[in-house]
A and B are shown apart, each in its own frame.
Chain A
């Protein structure tokens, strides 16, 4: 299965700033996804990163707050913009493997102070 490298693994950021998270895959994949996992909670899909077109955002998430890039089939970035303490979460990159399978990165633990 695909191997995902996600950077940074953790960061502490000041409110009002932005952080860009990188997701690198060791093989070309069609589907890439970004999830948020708030403290002690489950995973919520933020958006699907589409190669060559705009990301598809889920209800409650907007491009201005979470801009996503997908320049090629092995790389994507998620930016958390104008951060507030409520954005403190783990952000996870995932890729689709085959028709039904998914592999996850180890996540970026973000703390906003």
Chain B
């Protein structure tokens, strides 16, 4: 079936630097995308989302970019902090089976912030 995948399984950045986490998706019909952060021992936490009619959305220290032409999604974290160390997942929310919607997760990137 359709899948969402990530380019890199691990990413290490220096504290204070910017982080960029990438994601490729394959379902061209997906109209909504979400980035989640999962810390050890916890469930995924919502970070930011973007609809397919947008190409950029900004939150507090985070920015999501969507390039529908190449089916690419990225998460940018500004001034990365130790508390940002976690696994980051992209997920696409698409309509299936009529009006039902389903989340499909990418494989995840482990972000490590170095002191």
Contacts and interface: CB of A to CB of B under 8 A. Distances in A.
Interface stretch (A12-20, A41-49, A69-77, A79-87): A41-49
A41 B107 contact: yes
Contact of B42 (A45, A48, A107): A107
B99 to A, nearest CB: 10
Interface residues of A, number: 24
B32 A106 contact: no
Nearest to A96: B101
A36 B106 CA distance: 14
Contact of B108 (A42, A45, A105, A109): A42
What range describes how many residues of B lie at the interface? 20 to 34
A113 B12 CA distance: 34
B101 A100 contact: yes
B46 to A, nearest CB: 7
B83 interface: no
A78 interface: no
B104 to A, nearest CB: 8
Contacts of A61: none
B105 A104 contact: no
Contacts of A44: 105
A4 B46 CA distance: 14
Nearest to A6: B43
A63 B49 CA distance: 32
Contacts of A52: none
A94 B43 CA distance: 9
Interface of B: 1, 32, 34, 36, 41-46, 49, 89, 93, 97, 100-108
6 contacts: A41-B107, A48-B100, A99-B101, A102-B34, A106-B41, A106-B42
